[in-house]
């Protein structure tokens, strides 16, 4: 059936690591907005949800969802059944995909390559038929793109991928370069990422595009008139508790604020693998009475904290394994809600947070300068008014997801004529 809004007849298959995920709202927002433009989407997820709750917007998505077997041994019978049947039906294509899997395995000796081939076999044999799928598009350049790549080889359909942050900087450059070269096109969410990807595969014929994720400005907007901070100051951080978020720097900076006699309460919203380490640091710095760890929350809950806080702080840094942020959506959400932001000048952050104009920026891993920037933004009312106004304008101009999804849709329409 032809789509009434776009005239498209084909279905876009989104290959995701997990769906839905509370920390990947930008993906569900993209799917919802593309559906509003008339796109028909089918989701294939490599994992079931990790959380027992999700954002309200997910319930509005109409796309069907199929879940791939996430592990090999417990699902070996399912994986082998569909792969053997597919190999019998399409021996040349299967041998081509198997050859590529062997090449990729010899580069890295990672067993995940075998799993990705087998998962792709299930996708193509079990989930592909009858859905009108004409293109595979993976979010994240690591395992979802590997599944999309093998699905492309097994089916003959093209694939593309959206590269983000950890998936780029912790991937084997040879594997990543091959994915870029084999993809029909690649999209990423910062200019910083775009430049990096161009160095990974110099001279590639594959088009590279940059489209920011954006946020819903109807949802994240100032609530009431700007308030003057009062003591104790309320400081907010929303971040996964991982090395690249620089939380150690944040808490050491908070300790310096306390030592200078500044009274505050700090809230951290988020979870992560380094939680025990951060809790230990908070205890060692004697910050337990001033800081609260809230865990993961929905957007509806986080908005209340944005509205009640005086500043938002991030200490992002490049992790030891190369992992780093793109542009954290929580930073843009804060800016959109007139909550002044202090952050570090890592990766794509300076593309939106301009020091002294839309917020304050410091070098990473520098608690002293971070604490001084926080103090300045808490106490200088003229600066607060100036940067919050400029920040909201910047987000409205460059981070409105309703505008940005049209840029993305134009890329899809241009690069995937098979849609109709």
Express each pLDDT in 254-292 by its tens digit: 999 999 999 999 999 999 999 999 999 999 999 999 999
1 domain-assigned: no
The pair phi, psi for residue 200, each rounded to 5°, is: -70, -40
Q: How many helices (H) and strands (E) does the chain have?
A: 15, 13
Question: For 51-55, 76-80, 166-170, 175-179, which range has the lowest pLDDT when averaged over its residues?
Answer: 51-55
**Interatomic CA distance for residues 37 and 15, integer angstroms:** 20
In the predicted model, is pLDDT for residue 224 greater than 80? no
Band (5; pLDDT cuts 50, 70, 90): very low
Domain that holds residue 359: 233-398
239 domain-assigned: yes
Structure tokens belonging to residue 122:
């299930």
Residues 6+ apart with CB under 8 A from 370: 249, 250, 253, 313, 315, 342, 344, 362
160 domain-assigned: yes
Band (7; pLDDT cuts 50, 70, 90): low
3-state secondary structure of 255: helix
Same domain, 406 and 394: no
**pLDDT score of 54:** 75
254 domain-assigned: yes
Compute the mean pLDDT over every residue in the chain, rounded to the nearest whole number. 94
Q: What is the 3-state secondary structure (H, E, C) of 119-136?
A: HHHHHHHHHCCCCCEEEE
Report the phi/psi class of residue 318: left, alpha or beta, with left for phi > 0 and alpha for psi in -120 to 50.
Answer: beta
Same domain, 42 and 164: yes
Q: What's the rounded mean pLDDT across residues 171-192?
A: 97
147 domain-assigned: yes
Q: What is the CATH number of the domain that holds 104?
A: 3.40.50.2000
Structurally, the chain folds into a number of domains equal to 2
Same domain, 141 and 247: no
In the predicted model, is pLDDT for residue 181 greater than 80? yes
**Interatomic CA distance for residues 409 and 407, integer angstroms:** 5
**pLDDT score of 3:** 44
Which tens digit of pLDDT belongs to each residue from 338-382? 999 999 999 999 999 999 999 999 999 999 999 999 999 999 999
In the predicted model, is pLDDT for residue 1 greater than 70? no
Q: What is the pTM of this model?
A: 0.92
Same domain, 32 and 158: yes
Band (300; pLDDT cuts 50, 70, 90): confident
Which tens digit of pLDDT belongs to each residue from 85-116? 999 999 999 999 999 999 999 999 999 999 99
Same domain, 240 and 385: yes
Q: Are 241 and 321 spatial neighbours (Cβ–Cβ below 8 Å)?
A: no
């Amino acid at each position: 059936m032809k789509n009434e809004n776009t005239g498209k007849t084909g279905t876009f298959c989104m290959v995701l690591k997990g769906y839905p995920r509370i920390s990947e709202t930008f993906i569900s927002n993209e799917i919802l907005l593309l559906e509003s433009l008339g796109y028909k989407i089918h989701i294939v997820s490599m994992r079931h949800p990790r959380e027992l709750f999700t954002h309200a917007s997910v319930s509005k998505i109409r796309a069907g969802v199929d879940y791939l077997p996430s592990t090999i041994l417990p699902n070996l019978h399912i994986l082998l059944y569909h792969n053997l049947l597919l190999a019998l039906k399409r021996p040349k294509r299967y041998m081509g995909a198997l050859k590529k899997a062997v090449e990729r395995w010899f580069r890295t000796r990672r067993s995940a390559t075998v799993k990705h081939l087998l998962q792709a076999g299930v996708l193509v044999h079990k989930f592909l038929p009858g859905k009108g799928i004409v293109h595979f598009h993976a979010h994240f350049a690591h395992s979802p793109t590997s599944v999309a790549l093998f699905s492309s080889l097994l089916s003959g359909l093209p694939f593309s991928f959206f590269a983000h942050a950890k998936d780029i900087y912790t991937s084997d450059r040879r594997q990543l370069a091959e994915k870029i070269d084999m993809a029909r096109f690649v999209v990423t969410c910062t200019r910083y990422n775009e430049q990096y990807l161009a160095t990974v595969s110099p001279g590639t014929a594959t088009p590279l595009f940059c489209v920011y994720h954006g946020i819903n400005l109807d949802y994240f907007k100032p609530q009431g008139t700007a308030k003057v901070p009062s003591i104790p100051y309320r400081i907010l951080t929303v971040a996964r508790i991982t090395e690249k978020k620089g939380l150690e720097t944040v808490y050491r900076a908070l300790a310096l604020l306390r030592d200078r006699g500044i009274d505050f309460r700090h809230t951290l919203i988020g979870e992560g693998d380094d939680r025990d380490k951060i809790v230990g640091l908070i205890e060692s710095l004697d910050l337990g009475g001033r800081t609260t760890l809230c865990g993961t929350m929905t957007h509806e809950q986080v908005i209340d904290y944005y509205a009640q806080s005086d500043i938002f702080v991030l200490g992002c840094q490049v992790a030891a394994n190369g992992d780093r942020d793109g542009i954290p959506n929580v930073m843009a959400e804060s800016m959109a809600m007139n909550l002044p932001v202090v952050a570090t000048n890592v990766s794509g952050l300076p593309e939106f947070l301009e020091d002294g104009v839309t917020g304050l920026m410091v070098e990473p891993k520098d608690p002293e300068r971070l604490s001084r920037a926080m103090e300045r933004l808490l106490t200088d009312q003229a600066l607060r008014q100036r940067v919050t106004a400029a920040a909201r304008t910047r987000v409205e101009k460059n981070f409105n997801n309703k505008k940005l999804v049209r840029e993305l849709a134009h890329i899809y329409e241009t690069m995937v004529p098979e849609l109709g």
